[in-house]
Chains A and B, each alone.
Chain A
Amino acid sequence: MKQAITVERFGIRLRPVALADAAFIYHIRRMPELARYIGDIGSDYDAHQAWMADHLNREDDYYFVIERLDGKPVGTIAIYDIAKGEGHWGRWIILPTVPAAPASVWLAFQIAFERLGLTNIYSNTVQDNGRVVSFHERCGLERLRIDQGGLTIRGQAYDMVIHRASRHNWPQIQQRLERAARMAQRLIEES
């Protein structure tokens, strides 16, 4: 039975996505400055809603809205394909003006390791998305391999960097994220 999980810290909250979030998620996933490295998605809104409903119904899929504590949504993040104590994380997208990246990853990993009891979670990042690859490695994720041509976006194949975060190195990851997350909290609360 899938748990209803809501967590908050560092000035943001992760709460389960609902179908009422469809318009926000449709919008943010198609913002030109954010959509460059998102896999092919169509423009049909009904298809988007069906895609969301499918994910919300899956037992192995936790899809979260990242929101400010006043309830304003600023992004999404997900833990999915959960099986045998492992999973993936992704669908990570945040409005460019909101510094919620460190805190949202901190909270998603807390859910993965401390609530869901996962041992490892993996991420797949387009190698050309250098700043996100850098973020992952700065916060202590282990680079496992590169999947050549692992994702096709608008007809172009991209190599994917596969990273792993483990429950074992979660304390180190927390340390690396917390200083930035605390700084970002002040900025989010002041804005």
Chain B
Amino acid sequence: MSRELRQQLLELLAEVLEVPLSQDSNPQRHSLDSWDSLKHMELILSLEETFGIRFTSDEVASVESLEDLVRIIEVKL
């Protein structure tokens, strides 16, 4: 489950941020300039629409990496 989910999230992240991301990467917000606060909101909105879930404000503020997204979304599915 988490491997498939991770791959799906990686593809969505690359699409929203408009940057190439390799399959074995673990993108981090602090090291990816394109993951700015504008794109962070668009990413969360895309994830909510794609998976039919809702993030809380604390969850949105806590996301610092792809792995954080996997962990949060896995619980909601």
Contact present for B42 and A99 (CB under 8 Å) = no
Contact present for B39 and A138 (CB under 8 Å) = yes
Closest chain-A Cβ to B14's Cβ sits at a distance in Å of 15
Contact present for A102 and B37 (CB under 8 Å) = yes
Q: Is the interface of B mostly helix, strand, loop or mixed?
A: helix
Which of A101, A102, A176, A183 meets B44, CB within 8 Å? A183
Contact present for A134 and B36 (CB under 8 Å) = yes
- Of the candidates A102, A139, A183, the one having the most CB atoms from chain B within 10 angstroms of its own CB is A183
With an 8 Å Cβ cutoff, the count of chain A residues facing the other chain is 24
Map CB proximity to B onto A88-103 as digits: 1 under 8 Å, 0 otherwise: 0000000011010110
Contact present for B42 and A101 (CB under 8 Å) = no
Taking CB atoms, residues of chain A closer than 8 Å to B4 are none
Contact present for B57 and A180 (CB under 8 Å) = no
Contact present for B36 and A187 (CB under 8 Å) = no
Contact present for A138 and B60 (CB under 8 Å) = no
Docked pose: A140 CA to B41 CA in angstroms: 16
Cβ of A131 within 8 Å of any chain B Cβ, yes or no, is: yes
Interface size class of B (residues with CB under 8 A): 10 to 19
Contact present for B33 and A131 (CB under 8 Å) = yes
Taking CB atoms, residues of chain A closer than 8 Å to B55 are 187
Docked pose: A168 CA to B39 CA in angstroms: 24
Contact present for A139 and B57 (CB under 8 Å) = no
Cβ of B56 within 8 Å of any chain A Cβ, yes or no, is: yes
Which of A96, A132, A191 meets B58, CB within 8 Å? A191
Contact present for B39 and A183 (CB under 8 Å) = no
A-B contact pairs, 5 of them (CB 8 A): A97-B61, A131-B37, A134-B34, A135-B36, A138-B36
Query: Chain A: residues with CB nearer than 8 A to chain B?
Result: 96-97, 99, 101-102, 130-135, 138-139, 176-177, 179-181, 183-184, 187-188, 190-191
Apart from the given pairs A99-B61, A138-B39, 15 other A-B contacts in the complex at a CB distance below 8 Å: A96-B61, A99-B41, A101-B37, A101-B38, A102-B41, A131-B35, A131-B36, A131-B37, A133-B33, A138-B38, A139-B38, A176-B38, A187-B55, A187-B60, A190-B56
